[in-house]
Structure 1
Amino acid sequence: MMSAFVVVALDVNDEEKFGEYVANVAASFAKYNVEVLAASDELDTIEGVAPSGRIVMLRFQSSAQARQWYESPEYQRVLPLRHAAADTRFMTVVEGLSEA
């Protein structure tokens, strides 16, 4: 099976509201077996133009599972919190290496 990674670039405008989102999104992560690989504002760009803001990387068992999580009632309930706290520049799914 091919792993899939959701990569998100966002600008957090309200840390308190974003903290509320983070606290509430954890339940959806647990239900859909989401692994948080990275979440940081501290980016060390080696080449090209550095993105501003926060980058988040999540790992899923497949791109279908990533879609299932995003469209789930559990995530859709907390999504307005993220929209209220941050401007999302992009959220994309990237397929990765196959797992043994």
Structure 2
Amino acid sequence: MSAYLISLCRQVSDRERLEDCWANVAPAFKGVQAKPLVAYTPFEVLEGDGNFQGVVLFEFSSMEEARRWYNSAAYQEVKKLREGAADFDLLLVDGGVVSAAVQQMPQSHKG
């Protein structure tokens, strides 16, 4: 089942270093089954505080493939370029739909 990496950029403190990261990230995806779906396109905040400046969404073939990419030496090297240049939240989510209410967000279930 597909998995999705959602990257939310909250703040940029060093644009030049961030652009260096962008310029060097492509090789980290070599041999990885990943497809960019959204990369810093215009967005509109419909709800929430909107405390972010950019959105990236990648589709991976599986959670395992996404974790393999994230933990790879190639990505970890590029990640060092980004660290300190911008604040990001990265989320990895499994594709699909959980239909039973009791199974949705089980950490908040009190029963």
TM superposition score normalised by structure 2: 0.75
* Greater Cα offset, 36-45 or 62-71: 36-45
* Cα shift readout 1:10-49 (whole Å, capped 9, x = no counterpart): 2222222111101111001232132221122732123343
**Aligned pairs for 1:66-85 within 5 A:** 66-85=66-85
Q: Which has the higher contact order (CA 8 A, sep 6+)?
A: 1
Q: Is the 8 A contact 1:41 1:53 kept in 2?
A: no
1:51-70 equivalences in 2 (<5 Å): 51-70=51-70
CA contact (8 A) 2:3 2:93 kept: yes
Q: State the identity %.
A: 35
Where in structure 1 do 4 or more consecutive aligned residues deviate above 4 Å?
A: none
Report the residue type matching 1:96 in the other structure.
G
2:22 maps to what in 1?
Answer: 22
What RMSD in Å do the two structures reach over aligned CA positions?
Answer: 1.9
Structure 1 unaligned blocks of 5 or more: none
Alignment partner, residue 37 of structure 1:
37
Aligned to 2:105: none
SS in 2 for 1:91: strand
